[in-house]
Structure 1
Amino acid sequence: MGVAYSVGEVDHLKHRQPRLLIREKHPNHHLVVKKNKVHKLLSHPVNPTEKNWEIIRMKDSRRRMSLCSSEDSEAEEPEQPEEVDDALLVLSKHSLLLDAHDLEQLAAQMPARTWGYPWQLAYSTAIHGSSLKTLYRNMAELDNPVLLIVRDMHKKVFGAFSTDPFRVSKHFYGTGETFLFSFNPDFQAYRWSGENSYFVNGKYDTLQIGGGGDGFALWLDADLNHGASFSCPTFHNPPLSTQEDFIVQDLEVWTVQK
């Protein structure tokens, strides 16, 4: 599994220049730090004091990549537009459920207002135990979007992006930016259909996402041990889990830091 590195691991580079590229002498491993935001991920931690690393300016990196592209068709691809770089999803610590490729696919679906910010772990069954009550308590002071990831006992990974942190409410809440996703194993995203506004509803004993049909798109019980997933009008999604009723193996919730 790949690793998404902490912004803290590159803090010592943020204050050197506004646009720096730390580049290993290998075409596929690099990390861009611009305007105090991480723009690309590495396959392993950075130690820029080692001899196989060099620090160069962004403009020089583009020139080198251009030269490499003309000399070798297998060289590094030209840098993508900055809006794609900005969209990279960087976690504050390692995720048990998502690797670097998963994060790249998810980042492309995120609202632009979340781009460039690190994400912190708000809740994890591996750390906090299995309790919906604890999940709500950990989000009581939050006011930013959250990312829910579930892995069932069949190793299927799926979840939801919510524009609002999970909380107990009498009614559904959220906006049309809310979406579902699954890795099956290929990544699929399911966006708002516009048919209803049943985005998220938190009860003391259940968490419900999507609705309006025969069941919820994603439903979790009070112990976060059992769940269910059905097709629903809100997202026109198929069941996200391996089976409509599933057992939770691991669960994480991340929130964007601003």
Structure 2
Amino acid sequence: MRRALPRTMQTKVEDIRVLYFAGDRVEPYVQIIAVNEPKRRQSICSSEESEAEESDDRAYVEDLLPMLCDHSQLLEDHHLESLATHMPARTQGYPWQLAYSTADHGTSLKTLYRSMAGLDSPVLLVVKDMNNKVFGAFSTSPFRVSDYCYGTGETFLYTFSPDFKAYRWSGENSYFVSGHLESLQIGGGVGGFGLWLDADLYRGASYSCPTFCNQPLSTEEEFIVQDLEVWTIQNATCPPYTKGRK
């Protein structure tokens, strides 16, 4: 005798499978299995695998995070996480020290150059403008006054406005960094500088330039500097900043 399925099952007959079991020593019985159940289980397994992969990725990024020896007023964890994966491999695993900041040293490009004297290591420039936009540049050479451009193809521009974006060397020209007493220039060519700062580290500008094929780093091509920091990589160990990276 065929029995009608319960009303709750009639609405989605296509989602179920009815299996009939019988045997010499087994009482006959019927088992109802939802067809989409294996798919649901597979989805759960895939989700668990995805979460495990994401956890591994997070652990990998955390391993790349630089150890800050000093307090930063501009760099937070999410900034470091984004920057870490774009730093050259040779910089990973070394502590970062604050070489210059407008909060500690005042607003003077000459003072910035003096703080770089004697250094022979890459530096990270971090700028925060009056619109609270954070951006800057990674330079393979410390900033200094020079009659010619310096740096290598590992130099890049970056911005967090509105989301993180790194602009690497395009190969178009080699105008990486040019230091003068009246200004600091990063990237150049027809159209303007990728990042330009005046002698007082007060006014700045960012235009699209052939060196990095970048978009302006801030929401405005010309901006006013609120704060500025320069971090340098040191081979020597240093005690980490114990109050966090904020």
TM-score range, shorter chain: 0.7 to 0.9
Q: Which amino acid aligns with 2:123?
A: V
In the TM superposition, what whole-angstrom CA distance separates every residue of 1:14-62 from its partner, at most 9, and x where no partner exists? xxxxxxxxxxxxxxxxxxxxxxxxxxxxxxxxxxxxxxxxxxxxxxxxx
- Corresponding position of 2:38: none
- Corresponding position of 1:3: none
For the residues of structure 1 that align with 2:205 and 2:67, how far apart are their CA atoms?
29
For the residues of structure 2 that align with 1:75 and 1:233, how far apart are their CA atoms?
40
- Corresponding position of 1:182: 159
State whether structure 2 residue 110 is matched by structure 1 residue 141. no
Match 2:194 to one of 186, 206, 217: 217
* Structure number, greater radius of gyration: 2
Q: Which secondary structure state, in structure 2, belongs to the residue aligned with residue 227 of structure 1?
A: strand
In the TM superposition, what whole-angstrom CA distance separates every residue of 1:152-204 from its partner, at most 9, and x where no partner exists? 11111100000000000000000000000000131000000000000000001
**% same residue:** 68
Q: Which secondary structure state, in structure 2, belongs to the residue aligned with residue 90 of structure 1?
A: coil
Query: Is the CA contact 2:62–2:81 (under 8 Å) kept in the aligned structure 1?
Result: no
> Which has the larger share of helix?
2
Higher relative CO (Cα under 8 Å, sequence separation at least 6) belongs to 2
For structure 1, the residue ranges without an aligned partner over 5 or more in a row are: 1-69
For the residues of structure 2 that align with 1:147 and 1:106, how far apart are their CA atoms?
10
For the residues of structure 1 that align with 2:178 and 2:63, how far apart are their CA atoms?
31
For the residues of structure 2 that align with 1:183 and 1:75, how far apart are their CA atoms?
26
Query: Is the CA contact 2:190–2:209 (under 8 Å) kept in the aligned structure 1?
Result: yes
| 1:168-247 equivalent positions in 2, closer than 5 A | 168-247=145-224
For the residues of structure 1 that align with 2:213 and 2:57, how far apart are their CA atoms?
32
For the residues of structure 1 that align with 2:183 and 2:56, how far apart are their CA atoms?
45
| 1:71-110 equivalent positions in 2, closer than 5 A | 73=48, 78-80=55-57, 84-110=61-87
Match 1:161 to one of 134, 138, 143: 138
Q: Which amino acid aligns with 1:202?
A: G
- Corresponding position of 2:4: none
State whether structure 2 residue 105 is matched by structure 1 residue 128. yes
TM-score, normalized by length of structure 2?
0.72
Large movers: runs of 4+ above 2 Å: 72-87
Which stretch shifts more, 83-92 or 103-112?
83-92
Change (3 A) 1:75 1:214: closer
Q: Which amino acid aligns with 1:203?
A: H
Query: Is the CA contact 2:135–2:159 (under 8 Å) kept in the aligned structure 1?
Result: yes
- Corresponding position of 1:6: none
Task: Give the RMSD, CA atoms, in angstroms.
Answer: 2.2
Query: Is the CA contact 1:150–1:158 (under 8 Å) kept in the aligned structure 2?
Result: yes
Query: Is the CA contact 1:89–1:104 (under 8 Å) kept in the aligned structure 2?
Result: no
Query: Is the CA contact 1:159–1:182 (under 8 Å) kept in the aligned structure 2?
Result: yes
For the residues of structure 2 that align with 1:237 and 1:254, how far apart are their CA atoms?
22
For structure 2, the residue ranges without an aligned partner over 5 or more in a row are: 1-44, 236-246
State whether structure 2 residue 219 is matched by structure 1 residue 254. no
Query: Is the CA contact 1:158–1:240 (under 8 Å) kept in the aligned structure 2?
Result: yes
- Corresponding position of 1:116: 93
Change (3 A) 1:102 1:96: same
For the residues of structure 2 that align with 1:125 and 1:238, how far apart are their CA atoms?
26
